[in-house]
Chains A and B, each alone.
Chain A
């Protein structure tokens, strides 16, 4: 059981923070109520509309681009940790990887994928 102590502590800690936050906001936050506030989700779009209404496709584009370049960061973390052990090879590889991503970025930019209007 001993090896699980750390995990259990982590679990407790996380539950504590999450639960604590919900508890604290409900206790401390101001309680003004209006129509939008009663929506199940609070975001830019109104919730109850005809299902056939169109969304601006730009939301998706931005979301997809965000995910793509976010993943880049995920790969960078382990690389950074093992940087010394990987040596020159690792450096060149990551350089190539970033270069390819750079090509993608250049493409997106030039295509106007980053412009909202």
Chain B
């Protein structure tokens, strides 16, 4: 299996110019991942964990020992399946979407780099390579968000994402350091085996480690307060939004917590923190999503909101459910993004939903896939979102660590979700065409085919729920989470979701007067939401401005007058010495020979008098 993993890495590394090669690389990777999956399925559940394939012993220095190795267990293979599977579909889609872009090949190579980095991240068998993958993923997303490098807003967004991610990286690196200090190893296997023996629940070291890892997870998965980069990241090309900001990268945080479930189970305090932040993020993002007008931004906020669900799930100890929702979300959110991309493509780059309308007839395939995506997102019965989301909401109440507060957050969010997702749906597809200049058209088959695949998956993936939970269970201590049945709670959720949809229907499908009326009535609220709770402004005021001021001060005083001066002086002196030395190099053989004799005499003198 080690060879298998290597060939997989090699395949993804192969960054060729052509989309075909890029796609087949990812497709091949998917097949390899699938192979690994069948291999694992053939094993007994108990034997499935902890297959570490050491590819190369890398560096050994004292206690510090690093191998280049991959971890093959249900969790990593599961993630790999999602990454390469969804990644493959999105690659195919990009062939169509990016077809007109002159920098097509650069885009494809970045996408491949991203898939590679993500695979490193999930297949790492120790924290070191986890961080390597983590940072590589950050780099790839920086490159992809800022892909339209002539667009100022895109570059700024890329920078923002990078800075936020670096905050997370710092957390991760410090966490790795603390882990190494405490456990003397960075290997998952060693650390997770030792942790329960060495520490009591909620002991300081565990809390510190879990908290630091959490900083990384929050940054990557856009949870409050490190969330502001995600909506801005929509400046990147739409397939990027689908791939990175919906299906894979942002779920890395959830993966991290699930991977370290052993540590987190020892730290219930941190778990509560995760669940709370997750729940708040869910409702927070959903409210902002209510009023945004950019179709991709709305979906971005819904992503944040759904990530909130996942964090809520892992926060209450339902790791399997979190991963399950991660999977269904990857399908339907990629579907939504790609459909939105198809709309944008058809509308020649228009992203404002107010200017769309009446696309149902013109883009039937996109319409259907968007509808399926939205239904799945709001948890319409029997779609995949229904299974995973219902399970989380019910667990929020019934699970040992759940309580009514979490449930409340989750269920209200469900209602809001219904509202905002159908708001954009009605705007874009129903009604009349609003912009007379636009000439919308259906997208080519290379784009609609991926939509159909994802739509299919979004519809049926829910039925896999039990299998997924069972498959993953060995990683999370060997038990399948209990399935809670509660018709009443389910009913409430569904009702609220339906209310949301109907509200959207009532507001946006009838006449514009009513919209205006409601908007005016709720103007202060609308303003706050539209401004995203002024978080960006807060950051700017409290962090960016003071930092700039300090930077400026340092530049003027310390840098110019202090450090620069010293550095210049040192450089000057070094150069002088250097020139003096070259004077010595006269080119005359007799001088050289004399020099040798002089050296010999000096050594002798040294020996005699030393």
A and B touching (Cβ–Cβ under 8 A): no
